[in-house]
Structure formats: C-alpha cells, structure tokens
Structure 1
Amino acid sequence: MAMANFSFVSMAAQAPKESGISFQNKAATWDNAEQAKDVVDALNRESTVHYLNLDGNTLGVDAAKAIGEALKRHPEFRKALWKNLFTRRLKSEIPLALKHLGAGLIAAKAKLTVLDLSDNALGPNGMTGLEDFLRSPVCYSLQELYLNNCGLGPEGGCMLSKAMLDLHANAKAAGTPLQLRIFVAGRNRLENVGATAISKIFKTLQTLEEICMPQNSIYHKGVAALAEGLKLNPHLRVLNLNDNTLTCKGASEIAAVFEHTPHLREINFGDCIIKTDGAYLFAEALEQHHKQLEVLDLGFNEINHDGGLMLVTAVVNKPNLRLLNLDGNCFGQKGCELIIAEMEKTANPAALQPFEEDDSEDEAEKASDDEENSEEDDAETVEYGEDDYEQDGGDSKDYDPNDTTEEVDEEDDEYADENAAEDTAYVTTRAFNTMNINETTSAKSDDTIANAQNDNLNISAEDFVLGKEPCTLQQFGTLNGDNKLHKLMSVIDQFDNDNHLLLLVFTTLKCAHHSKSSKAALDLAVSLYKTTFEYAIKTKQEQRVLDYVLKQLCILRSEEPFKSPYDMTNCRYALREVISLSDFANDNIKNTLKVCLDQLDA
C-alpha cells in the first residue's frame, strides 16, 4: 500500500536565531511538579525561550500545572512542540493538562507561531482543553498548526472548525488578522462531516500554503466541500489528501481546484481510487499550468496505462518535477514499459519512481474494460460510506505503533450511536486470538468439540464449525445436509460479537482449504468470504477483519507467529476468486486484498 507522504515546511528555516529548551524523546514520566522539576528549572533559568519541545514524554495534570506556571514568565515564547505527550494518560487528564499549559501562555501574553500536538489522543474530549486557548490572543499570530493522528473524529473536527473560525474573527477584530499557513490533520477519522466543517476554515482564512489531511475516511461529498475551500487559497503550495476515497467524482472536484492554485509544488492523491477517468481529469487540469510542480503522487489509484500515459504527457512541461509516483496502478508490464519510454522523452525522466507493485497485464486490461462501469461502482461504494460514516482508509494500510485513534472513546459523542460498533473496533485492546473462542452459551462440551476431527465421515455442521483442524475432503463431501452454507450459518449465527466473527473466519478457511480440489468447497468458501466481509462492513469493523484475515493467510505479519493448519495456497486461491466478483464487499476491501495478494506474486 502506498504510504501517506507528509511534506512539512522546516520550522528551523523560519527564524535564523532561536533559543529554546528540548526534552525530546527522553521517555520521561511527569506526574507531578517534583517529577517535572527539570523542565520547570530550565524555564526559570533561561531568560529567552522561543520554543519548548516535550515530544516523546508523558505529562500529567499536576506536572502540566507546574510547567504552565513557569511559562508565564516567557512572553517571547513562539513554538509549542508538544507532540506525543500524553501516552498512557486517561482521557480526563488530557484536557486539564492542556488547559494548564495554555493558561501559562495566555498569562505570559505570548505570541504563538507554531502549535504541534500531533500523535496525542485528543479526540473531542481533548479538544475541550484547547478551545479557549485557540480562541485567545496567544494564537492570533499562529502560522503552523499540526494535529496529525489525534483521533478527532467528526465531532472533534467540528469543534476545531468552530474554534478556528472564532480565532479568525477575534484576531481580525483586534487588528491582527490570522495568517495560518500550514494545516496538518491527517489520520483523524474526520469523515465527510469533519471534512465539511474543516472546509469552512479554508474558506474563511484564505491564507493556507500547505494542507495535509491524509487517511481521514473522506468520501467524494466531503472532498467536494474541501474543494470549495481550497479554491479560495491561491497561495497553496502543498496539497496532500492521500488515502481518502475520492473516486472519479472527487477527482473532478479537485481537478477544478487546480486552476485556482497555480503555485502548487506538491500534489499527493495516492491511494484515492481516482481510477482512469480521474487521471484524465487531473492530467487535463495540470497540463497547461503549474510550471513549479515538483511532486505528483498518484500511486495505487486503479489507473490503466492510458491514464498513466496521459499523466506523463501532462508533466512534460514541468521543469522542476523531481518525483512522479504512479506505482501500484493497473498498467501491466507492457503499460509500464510504454510509460517509462514516454517519460524518457521528458526533461526529467529520473523523476518517475520505480514500478514495484503493478497489476498484471491481464488485470490492466480488465481494469480498462471495467472503466465504463466505474461510475456505478463508485456510487455504490461511496453512498455506503457516506451514510454510515465508514472509515477504513486511514490507518488501514500503514500501521503505526503510535496511532492514537484507538484511544478515543467519547460516551457523549453525538455520533456514538451510529459508530458504536466502529468505536469498539478501535478501542478494544484484545485482538482476535487464533482459535481462541470465549466461553459461550453453546451446549457442546470441550470433548465433543475436540472430537470434531475424528474419522466419522458423517461430520455435522456443528462439529465442522467448532472443530479446530481442517476436515478431510471426504469428510467435507459428507458434511451433514445438502445446503451446507445454510447449515454452517445456522451454527455460526448462534454466536455473537467476536465469537461470531471468529467462527466466520475459520469456517471460511476450512472450506477454502479444499478449494482447488473441490468445486463445492470453492463455492462455499467464496460465499463465506463474502458473508465475512459483509458482516465486517455492517458492524463497521472493516480494518480489524482485514488485518485478521490477512494474518491468518500469512500475508500480514503477526506479533505472535503461528503455523496455520490450513493450506495457504488454496485459501488464497479462493480469496482471489471472491475479490473478482462485482458484488463482493466494497472497493476499499477489494483494493486492499488485491494489492496484498499481488505483493506475494511480485
């Protein structure tokens, strides 16, 4: 999967001479004033402190209060570098700690230019500790705001938008208009609701030069709202919406932005499923202008080689181009060769990044044939995501051990009812364990379950589902009942929550185990794969189930390695069969599984 590439303007470049204090990556635990004494002493000792870097430590409420008191004597303070500062803290601690730090700067009458709170599990709850601070005179001079991977969610995004709009109004009334240049809010699960709220910031400020919002589960309606705000920021230089679901509809909205943002240097819409039609729109919009373009990332977008050639043609007149990423699309070997040959004719052929994860030529042709129907497919997929706040674009593809999104658990969130199942998927700390089924109401004894793999050829549906090992092909052929799917689901449906899902996965694998040697087993495995991911979508656990299935298929590395009792070749074969079906799951799941399987063949 394509990685979300951030392009942050260097903070050091902004001021030739700065004096500050750094405790970066000390892994210190500051629970109280005594434990935070080194920070407080440093603040009291230094007469000039332009920045305080506390990244990579963990701060409690009392310690924050002591540091806030010390900050009161530093009106020259400019940069709050406080990312990754609340590891293992309760959600009730974070807003209080932020209020103490903010109160110190407000009392000092500092003029902040940089606020970095990335990699902190703020969520809507944490935003309550920032709202007053963001509206205060301290932030009238704010130029750079980093809130990457903060688990804001739709509600937190709305809270942030309201605070920033109030800040703009307050600063304007004070005669010091807000000049925010950099806005970074990736990996926040903002979705369409949050993105629409954030778009109001862009519409109002009109000063943005860099906007990075990757992995936020934003669909084309949210993208359309953002586009309206982007058009009003003519000085935009960096635009990164990597790993959101634009589809061709969203690509059309963004393509219309480009004529209003002539100074763009970096454009990143990798992993956005813009498809070939979207590539055509981007190419047409970029071809005649944007002579300063340096980076164009459109990898992993299901673009065929015609679309790739159009994009190469669009960058021929871009003398500063240093990176063109088209990897992971549907070019096929011949298509890649054509694109490379065409790129050789440009002034900077080395800008084209290597092709490492492209689909086969047959798949590329299939993608081209399917392009005519792409709008219908997009509409179906996007409609589901918008109505149900589906959110698996983000974290899904690039695992980050510091990802804070799982820590957000707001009981009072107005979206709690719709997102209850999804929150569970993120909040839970106990992942599925191989063959570990909790105690249930099933009347079967452990001995009976353990005997499911005996030599009895008349194996029952219950024995088949609850047994731990794959049955023989002969046993499968005599599985009790003609309608095997109905029989198996009648057993699985007796269980709920994780147990239901766990049994779905392993029953699927047991059938897939024989998929190459039995058409009946293959058909049953395909039906069960479909049922598994339909359940994942229904309960909003897409990424959780994707990760678990990929681990069971030995495609995704597990923290606890195991040897599967199932034939991986057969299980993957059945999976390839099901992802080729038009009615299987959605584009996000299909794309993830397809790329992972293709990596094995590379």
Structure 2
Amino acid sequence: MSVPTISNFNFANMAAQLNEEQGISFENKAETWNNAEDVKAVVEALNSQSIVHYLNLDGNTLGVEAAQAISEALRKHPEFRKALWKNLFTRRLVSEIPLALEHLGAGLIAAGAKLTVLDLSDNALGPNGMTGLEEFLRSPVCYSLQELYLNNCGLGPEGGRMLSVALIDLHKNAKEAGTPLQLRTFVAGRNRLENAGAKALSKTFKVLQTLEEITIPQNSIYHVGVAALANSFKQNPHLRVINMNDNTLGVRGAAKIAEVFEHTPLLREIDFGDCLLKTDGAYHFAEALEQNHEQLELLDLSNNDINFDGGLVLVTAVQHKPKLRIFNLDGNCFGQSGSSQIVAEMAKCKNPAALQSLDEVLSEEEGEENNGDNDDNATPDNSDDDEESDEHADDDDEQDDDGDYDPNDTTEEVDEDDDEAYVTSNAYTTKLFNDSMTSNKTSNNFDMTIKNGNKTLSTIACTPEIFCLSQTPCTLQQFDSLEANNKLDAFHNIINLFDEDNHLLLLIFTSLKCGHLAQTSPAALELAISLYQATFDYAIRTEQETRVLEYYLIQLGLLRSEERFKSEYNMKGCRYALREAIKKKNFANDNIKNTFNTFLDQLDD
C-alpha cells in the first residue's frame, strides 16, 4: 500500500470541507414545544450530530422547559455559530420569553460558542424580552457577532435603549478581550423605536463604526431621530445598505441624510421610500448622489410627495450610475405628462431599465394638494417631546450624547399643559399661498403686502382684508371696529378671491381668528361656527374632508405636528367655538363630528 504524499492532498478542498456549514433545521414545523418531552427530537438531533454550526427553529413555539432542554444539548457544541430563532414565541406569555432566552443563551455561554449570526426577528420581545438577552449580548459568545436581526420585535424606545447599552458594553468587552467586535449587519425594522430609540441606537452606531448594513424601516422616526442617526451613519464609512423606508424624514431629515452620502462612498442600496422627503428633499438627495457612488445598485424614493421637477433632478443624478438595477420613483406627484418626460429622460441614461413602473403616479393637481410647500407639518401623529432637540435638531445628537436617557421621550400622548405649542409655525403653510400673499395678483388688485411678522396687529385699523389676510389674530377691539355691516359676507368676499388651497387655507384660518375671540365675543363665536361649517362644506364638496380634519386637529393642538412652536391663537377659544359648531345638526358629517369629539373629550377646556 502506497503512502500518500503531501502532493496528493488538496488543501483547498479540505478547507472547504472544514468550513462547510452543518446544522439542524426544524423550520416551519409549527411545533408547540412546552417541555423536554415535546422537544425530544431537537435534543436528540443536537446530541447525535457531532458538528452543529446552526440551529434553525423558525416557525415553532418554544416554552421555558423546552428551552432549558435545548440549552443542555447546546452545551456540547462550541463550534456553534448561527442562532436562527425567529418567530419562536408565538402564543407565549410575556413572562416566558425572557426565561426561555436566558436558557438558550446560557447553553451557548457554557459551550464557549462563537456566534456570528443572531436572528430573533418576528418575536414579541419588547423591553421585557430584552431582559433575557442582556447578559448573553454582553458575553464572549457575541464577541464574534457579525449579523444581528431583530426585525419586528416590538422593542419600542425603551427596548431600543436597552439594546443600545448592551451592544456598547459588548463592544467594550470584546475590545478588552483582544477580539474587537466586527458587527456588519444591523436589522431592526418595525420596532416602534421612535426618536428616543433612534437616538439611543445612534450612540451605538457611532461606537461600532464597522456597519455595512443598517435596516430600520417602519420605526416612527422623525427628523430629530433622523438627525442623530445621520451623524452616526457618517462614522460607518463601509456602509453599503441604508434602509429607513416608511419613517418620516421631511425636508430637514432629508438634508441630514444627504450629508451622510459624502462619508459613505461604498453605498449599494439606498431605501428611503415613503419618508415624506418632498421635492426639496429630493433636491438634497440628488445633489449629494450626483457625484461618485458609481457602485449604487438600488435607489428607492417612492411615495415621497416629490413633484415633476424633483423627479427630473433625481434622474439627472443617477444617469452615470452604470450598476443601478432598481430606481423606484413610483407613487410620487409627477402627473401623466411629467412621468412620460421622466421616462424619456431616463431612456437617455446608461441604465434606463432600472426605472421602475410609474403606474401609480398622482396627477399634478393632487401632487400640489399633498405637497404643500415641502413643509414638515404634514406628519402630525408623532414628534419629539424634547423641546431643545426640536429647536436645535442640527446638533441634537451632540447635545444628547452625555445626557441621561428619558424613557418618557416617546411622544405618543398630547400634553395639555403645553398643547398650544403644537400648531403650525406659519399659519399659511402652503408655498403657493405665501407667494400669493405678496404678489399683488388678485382679481381686485387690493394691497396684499400685509407682512407684520409675528406681531399682533393691535395698532392697525382693521378691515376685512386685514382680518382675513394677516398671519396673526386681531384684537377684540379691531374685530368690533371692522368696517362691515355683515362681517361673514365681507370675509367670504375676500376668501372667494382665491381658489383651491389658498381658498381652503383662508377659510380655515379665518375660522380660527374668529374662534380666537369666541369666548369674549358672541359675534365672533357666531362667525367662527359659520366659518367652521363653511370650511367643511367646501372640504366635503372637494373630497378633502380627511385632509382638513387632520389639519384642524394640528392647528387646535389636538394632534402633534413635526414642527414645534408657540401658537399665536387662543386654543381654548378656538376649541370652544368648534364644540359649539359640532352641536349644530347640519355640521359636516358624523365621521367628522365623532373624530373631533374623540380628541376634544381628552381635554379639560
């Protein structure tokens, strides 16, 4: 028998065999594992197989006793490196999840495993579940962690904070042990992190500096949280994927993210679809992406209220991206003509096939209606409670780095004590309207240059024009001295000189100006009621009742807006007038009445 020589061996094949993944999968078995007997098949597989690189338990439901049995079997596998445990705790009690996780983690710690992938997605962890992971995430098992998946885990702001602290500690522990953490992939979409959770995680990203993928869609993050994240993204120059789909950047957030692109030249995929970037946000992105980023493969900016001009600028920005495979602008406000021109311009680029279908494009008229003036106020349902953060969003992250975390910074509830600070920073939020206010281009050509800043018009003789067109409320004395026999007709004569959004906004703010005085003037109250009615008559007639309803809720401090500022209006007076209007039999419709009543019933005034 000949003895093999070294030349007979294929070292490449040997290395491949050693590195070939071997593991156990019970994926999608829909098993219910309550105790050791239930999970016997998993334990036997772990005990009988000498090499187990991964264990896939996705799509089953695991109890505490069963988890303990698996933990004992895992202790025999120091070679273990991938924990694929998503969708594992369906129908489990809140108290069971952290205990089960503690058992699983203890087994790997005892084994001395070196984990590279941890996937706990689609488990209702929340902060409670995070308590079962904290020790494990700080342990030597995770010093080698490269990919972390916590998608759809219900972490919330507090869970995000707990995760952030654990990962920062992990980084510190791994560095001290001489095995620096090299986390590359972080996925935590659909976790309701909000601004507070985003700011907490931004600290982690700043520390890590090794990330190649950050995927955090659908987390109710607004521009304050975005600003903090943007600063942390800059510290991760190897980023290849950024996905913040379905958060709310607004124009200010878009500007902050655009600054990131200069620091992340290796980007392959950029997904900011459904982020309310608007046209100005598209300009920011286009300018930042036009140069470099030749490796870009995917750019998703769909459903962002971007008009035709913004779409063309983006097409120009990607025309020299030869590797671009997917360029999604669907669901924006181009109109049929505009989308045809965008397709034509894209055809001139190196990668025309990258442009996705524009079948769902809004008309230009709908685009203008939804787009407003690219103001961030169109996102009323969440913002940040920290006044300093909102007023200084540009340096929010730096200011927050050394401060204590506030677990109440979730912005879900309306604070009645300062609700007057949550209206719109400029009463006339549509750019078209602002332009017309100073253009002198009305049908009667009367003076349209009433621009008194934030000063209440207490010393100016009041006319119907001043009352309707001023950007601040008038005094009771001015109201009483109005030069009109029939104030309602006089107001409508002014309002009817404008059309579309301008007409609608004048109706809204004239009703608020009357409501401002409603508690001290029966005449003003009567006018406010009539104008509230007229506004919703117009809204229903033009099929804009939902839009107008939400806008009033913001203006009345009942629903939070992205902008934070002090209103000039007497909110209690405006709400008092609205309550009286709602009592009228023919006011609007039941849906509008019920919605208003739901919000108003939460207040004391």
Question: Aligning the two structures, in what range does the TM-score lie when normalised by the shorter sequence?
Answer: 0.5 to 0.7
What are the residue-to-residue correspondences of 1:327-406 with 2, within 5 Å? 327-366=330-369, 370-371=372-373, 374-375=374-375, 378-379=376-377, 381=379, 385-387=383-385
Q: Residue 147 of structure 2 is aligned with which of 130, 144, 149?
A: 144
Q: Residue 251 of structure 1 is aligned with which of 241, 251, 254?
A: 254
Give a deviation string over 1:228-253, Cα, whole Å, max 9, x none: 11001111001000000000100000
**Aligned pair in 2 of structure 1 residues 351, 531: CA closer, same or farther (>3 Å)?**
closer
How far apart in 1 are the matches of 2:226 and 2:551?
30
How far apart in 1 are the matches of 2:591 and 2:335?
18
Q: Residue 210 of structure 1 is aligned with which of 210, 213, 217?
A: 213
What is the one-letter code of the residue matched to 2:20? K
How far apart in 2 are the matches of 1:90 and 1:538?
36
Partner of 2:230: 227
Conserved? CA contact 2:539–2:545, under 8 Å: no
**Aligned pair in 2 of structure 1 residues 529, 250: CA closer, same or farther (>3 Å)?**
closer
How far apart in 2 are the matches of 1:333 and 1:127?
49
**Aligned pair in 2 of structure 1 residues 15, 182: CA closer, same or farther (>3 Å)?**
farther
Percent identity for Structure 1 against Structure 2: 67
**Aligned pair in 2 of structure 1 residues 575, 16: CA closer, same or farther (>3 Å)?**
farther
What is the one-letter code of the residue matched to 2:60? N
Partner of 1:316: 319
How far apart in 1 are the matches of 2:590 and 2:319?
40
How far apart in 2 are the matches of 1:83 and 1:76?
21
TM-superposed deviation, 1:106? 0.1
TM-superposed deviation, 1:347? 1.1
TM-superposed deviation, 1:201? 1.2
Give a deviation string over 1:248-281, Cα, whole Å, max 9, x none: 1000000000010000000000000010001011
How far apart in 1 are the matches of 2:240 and 2:254?
18
SS state at 1:386 partner:
coil
**Aligned pair in 2 of structure 1 residues 417, 112: CA closer, same or farther (>3 Å)?**
closer
Partner of 2:549: 530
Give a deviation string over 1:73-92, Cα, whole Å, max 9, x none: 00000000000000000110
How far apart in 2 are the matches of 1:232 and 1:30?
43
Instruction: Kindly indicate whether structure 1 or structure 2 has the higher relative contact order, using CA contacts under 8 Å at least 6 residues apart.
Output: 1
How far apart in 2 are the matches of 1:382 and 1:286?
29
Q: Residue 131 of structure 1 is aligned with which of 131, 134, 138?
A: 134
> TM-score if structure 2 supplies the norm length?
0.64
How much is the aligned-residue C-alpha RMSD, in angstroms? 3.6
Q: Residue 91 of structure 1 is aligned with which of 94, 100, 109?
A: 94
Aligned length: 416
TM-superposed deviation, 1:363? 2.4
Segments of 5+ residues of structure 1 without an aligned counterpart are: 1-12, 390-412, 422-511, 541-572, 586-602
**Aligned pair in 2 of structure 1 residues 532, 312: CA closer, same or farther (>3 Å)?**
closer
SS state at 1:300 partner:
coil
Partner of 1:175: 178
TM-superposed deviation, 1:386? 1.9
How far apart in 2 are the matches of 1:277 and 1:14?
54
How far apart in 2 are the matches of 1:253 and 1:575?
42
Conserved? CA contact 2:248–2:379, under 8 Å: no
**Aligned pair in 2 of structure 1 residues 576, 124: CA closer, same or farther (>3 Å)?**
closer
Asked whether 1:19 is paired with 2:22, we answer: yes
How far apart in 2 are the matches of 1:198 and 1:417?
15
Segments of 5+ residues of structure 2 without an aligned counterpart are: 1-15, 388-405, 415-532, 561-587, 599-605
Partner of 1:301: 304
Name which of structure 1's ranges 527-536 and 239-248 shifts more when overlaid on structure 2.
527-536
Partner of 2:54: 51
What are the residue-to-residue correspondences of 1:579-594 with 2, within 5 Å? none
How far apart in 1 are the matches of 2:110 and 2:540?
71
How far apart in 1 are the matches of 2:352 and 2:108?
50
TM-superposed deviation, 1:415? 3.9
Partner of 2:277: 274
How far apart in 1 are the matches of 2:334 and 2:321?
23
Conserved? CA contact 1:304–1:367, under 8 Å: no
Q: Residue 107 of structure 2 is aligned with which of 100, 104, 109?
A: 104
Conserved? CA contact 2:134–2:166, under 8 Å: yes
How far apart in 2 are the matches of 1:356 and 1:383?
29
SS state at 1:223 partner:
helix
TM-superposed deviation, 1:317? 0.7
Larger Cα Rg: Structure 1 or Structure 2? 2
How far apart in 1 are the matches of 2:345 and 2:544?
44
What are the residue-to-residue correspondences of 1:154-165 with 2, within 5 Å? 154-165=157-168
**Aligned pair in 2 of structure 1 residues 385, 575: CA closer, same or farther (>3 Å)?**
farther
Conserved? CA contact 1:219–1:382, under 8 Å: no
How far apart in 1 are the matches of 2:546 and 2:40?
62
What is the one-letter code of the residue matched to 1:530? L
TM-superposed deviation, 1:300? 0.3
TM-superposed deviation, 1:525? 10
TM-superposed deviation, 1:345? 0.2
Conserved? CA contact 1:121–1:151, under 8 Å: yes
TM-superposed deviation, 1:531? 7.7
Conserved? CA contact 2:209–2:235, under 8 Å: yes
How far apart in 1 are the matches of 2:343 and 2:95?
55
Give a deviation string over 1:259-314, Cα, whole Å, max 9, x none: 10000000000000010001011000000110000000000000001100000000
**Aligned pair in 2 of structure 1 residues 419, 45: CA closer, same or farther (>3 Å)?**
same
Conserved? CA contact 1:199–1:229, under 8 Å: yes
What is the one-letter code of the residue matched to 1:338? Q
Partner of 1:120: 123
Partner of 1:81: 84
Partner of 2:169: 166
**Aligned pair in 2 of structure 1 residues 16, 84: CA closer, same or farther (>3 Å)?**
same
What is the one-letter code of the residue matched to 1:349? P
**Aligned pair in 2 of structure 1 residues 526, 181: CA closer, same or farther (>3 Å)?**
closer
Conserved? CA contact 1:305–1:364, under 8 Å: no
TM-superposed deviation, 1:220? 0.4
TM-superposed deviation, 1:534? 4.0
SS state at 2:383 partner:
helix
> TM-score if structure 1 supplies the norm length?
0.64
What is the one-letter code of the residue matched to 1:77? F
Partner of 1:153: 156
How far apart in 1 are the matches of 2:410 and 2:382?
17
How far apart in 2 are the matches of 1:279 and 1:272?
11
How far apart in 2 are the matches of 1:96 and 1:274?
42
How far apart in 2 are the matches of 1:577 and 1:76?
62
How far apart in 1 are the matches of 2:34 and 2:46?
18
Give a deviation string over 1:535-557, Cα, whole Å, max 9, x none: 999589xxxxxxxxxxxxxxxxx
Conserved? CA contact 2:157–2:194, under 8 Å: yes
Partner of 2:564: none
**Aligned pair in 2 of structure 1 residues 302, 25: CA closer, same or farther (>3 Å)?**
same
